[in-house]
Chains A and B, each alone.
Chain A
Amino acid sequence: MFGILTRRSKNGHVATEPLERKVVIDIRGITKMYKMGDVEVHALRGVDLKIYQGEFVSIMGPSGSGKSTLMNILGALDQPTTGEFFLDDTDVSKLSEADLARVRNKKIGFVFQSFNLLKRTTALRQVELPLIYGGAPGRAKKAKAALEAVGLERRVDHLPSELSGGQQQRVAIARALVNEPSMILADEPTGNLDSRSGTEVMQIFQSLNRDQGITIVFVTHDPWIARHTNRVIMLRDGKVIADREVAEPLIAGEAERPSEADEMETMFKDAYYGGGQDEYN
């Protein structure tokens, strides 16, 4: 069969993948166990996962499902207890601390819920930071280009305190982009933003994915956000319980987010009119 490569992975199941799509993340049988005092916490109990170049994936799951642990491992911030993790064909699970730092620098761009910008540092310097640690030449030029990609070319010399939340997160996205990583890993990137800024940020992620083919992984517990991505991986109790493509991903800014009241409408007995109960007695 042409175009499809069949490969038998370590734990036996047969995976099929299109030949022309490069595998960015290949996780095989990953477990993670923490010791909290005498108690052993199994945060991940054997996760297998492949993410291809150009995908826009969200990892979902309730608190305690292991999604943060998975994100830390995907981000090379933490090492799995057992299992293998290939990032761009490099086995990350066996690297030293310094090599991990290099992997984070070159291959991963982080976007955090709370932006994590350096205080009293201009946007340009923020974006240059990964280039400084990577030792790349032509820093200012690259950083400016990254800021332009997120539409902040006129905010280059602004301090975080002079930027709105949405703009701050866009600086963080520029910082994640600047080293041309294999993927961008975003942890609840819209969690601290109002819905308008959230939409703005979402639009940037979608355009980066659509127009530049950048691989993006979201970690979120918000189904509305997950609906904007192309593929959703659900975790529960340290295992993948669902891994499905989104039928019709929403385009940020086109669909209005339903209000909480609307979403919960079906769970109430009666319609609510406001005011006290005895008003109608």
Chain B
Amino acid sequence: MSLFESLRIAVAGLVTNRLRAVLTTLGIIIGVGAVIGLVSLGRGVELFVAQEFQSLGSNLLFVFSSRPASDTRTTIQPLSTIEADALANPTIAPSIRQVAPQYQVGGQIVAGANSFRLAISGSTPNYTSVRSWFPSLGTFITQEHVTDAARVAVLGTTIVEILYGDSTFDPVGQSVRINDRVFTVIGVMEERAAGFLGDENEAVFIPISTAQTRLDRARTRDGGFEVSVLNIQAVDESRMVAATLEIETYLNDAHGINFQGEQDFTIISQADILDSLGAITGILTAFLGMIAGISLLVGGIGIMNIMLVSVTERTREIGLRKAVGARGVDILMQFLIESVVLSVIGGGLGVLLGVMITLFAGVLVPDLALGVTTDSIILATAVSSFIGIFFGAYPASRAARLRPIDALRFE
């Protein structure tokens, strides 16, 4: 008997038992739909996290002081402006494009009756291009401001809202008091989506020299000023590791460090953060996929269950088919094809359901760029036909092995 005939008999069998076929398919529909929906949701989150970090600025390295791991050294030599200038020098660190040192001072900012305590960031003009974050109103700190240690401030939108009660207020030209000194607001930074560094909009930028000399006395022994963080941009992505090595080499020398464990600074690259967060979101995707996979498995067991019931229920039919000349193989094919047809139809409808879940989630959470990938569709289809064969095989072989006389006698 041809495959086409088997297919025709199987489809006729399914049409004869419509309700059961639909119920069986439901399990697969939900399973495949869940796999596709949840996996694309997980992918969306991964993508979102990756984009969020790209937006910090590209090819970034952060250097900050930290306690040495080894007991052989207990003092921390702070990072200094001298070191920042040296690292910005291409002959010392050719893999580094620019260095934006920051010095942070705890402070209180007051405007009228409102005040707020936060870490005031002393920054240099190139901070904007290193972090790819620019003012939406007014200007950022200029080189003259740094040279003059000018009393100017650039505010984040959260600070504008706290001080003036409205984040859209234009405070440029207003005076604020920081640690009892009067500053003039010269700009407002554009609003950033809440990312993994917390609310970045909760920031006040002043010239780094102002922070070091007027709000604090942050001289260092090498004759420069203390620096909290070096925001370093590498020349390009392929030079990140080289840039890290150049920073290490230079700072080990400058800080008199002989052993790795004595390092009193830490270098973190954007890629490091991305990797570790990527690992977390990857686990999230795998976890979601696994939950969905379980529902697919349950769907498969549902198919097996209903096919087994169907074999029992149709024992007489099997007996009759055998009596009129069906071989065991013919019966096996009939039931196997029935379950494969069920699961493939279920898989197809499940793909539709998955796409609908994805679209729906995309409407609910517009920040996530959600899309169904072809590989998840191919995977789901392959898995569902495999399920059809795998879970259909046992019931089908039971049907095929039925002895015609037993099957005919069955009531």
Chain A interface (Cβ within 8 Å of chain B)? 72, 75, 77-78, 97-98, 101-102, 104-106, 110, 112, 116, 118-121, 125, 129-130, 132-135, 175, 179
Contact = CB atoms under 8 A, between A and B. Distances in A.
Given A98-B329, A133-B330, 9 more contacts: A97-B328, A102-B327, A104-B325, A105-B324, A110-B324, A120-B16, A125-B12, A129-B324, A130-B324
A112 B405 CA distance: 12
10 contacts: A77-B323, A77-B404, A104-B322, A104-B323, A104-B324, A110-B324, A116-B320, A121-B16, A130-B324, A133-B330
Contacts of A102: 325, 327
A78 B323 CA distance: 11
* Interface SS, A side: helix
B405 A133 contact: no
A132 B6 CA distance: 9
A129 B16 contact: no
A110 B323 contact: yes
A107 B403 CA distance: 19
Q: Shortest 7 CB-CB distances between A and B: which pairs?
A: A105-B325, A133-B325, A101-B327, A130-B324, A116-B320, A120-B16, A98-B327
B324 A119 contact: no
A59 to B, nearest CB: 16
B317 interface: yes
Interface string B375-411: 0000000000000000000000000000111001000
Contacts of A125: 12
Contact-residue size bin, chain B (C-beta under 8 Å from the other chain):
20 to 34
A77 B322 CA distance: 9
Given A116-B316, A121-B16, A133 B324 contact: yes
Contacts of B408: 77, 112, 116
A179 B326 CA distance: 14
Nearest to B317: A118
B1 interface: yes
Contacts of A78: 403, 405
Tell me which of A77, A98, A110 has the highest count of chain B C-beta atoms within 10 A of its own C-beta.
Answer: A77
A98 to B, nearest CB: 5
A22 B186 CA distance: 117
Contacts of A72: 405
Contacts of A133: 1, 321, 324-327, 330
A232 B9 CA distance: 40
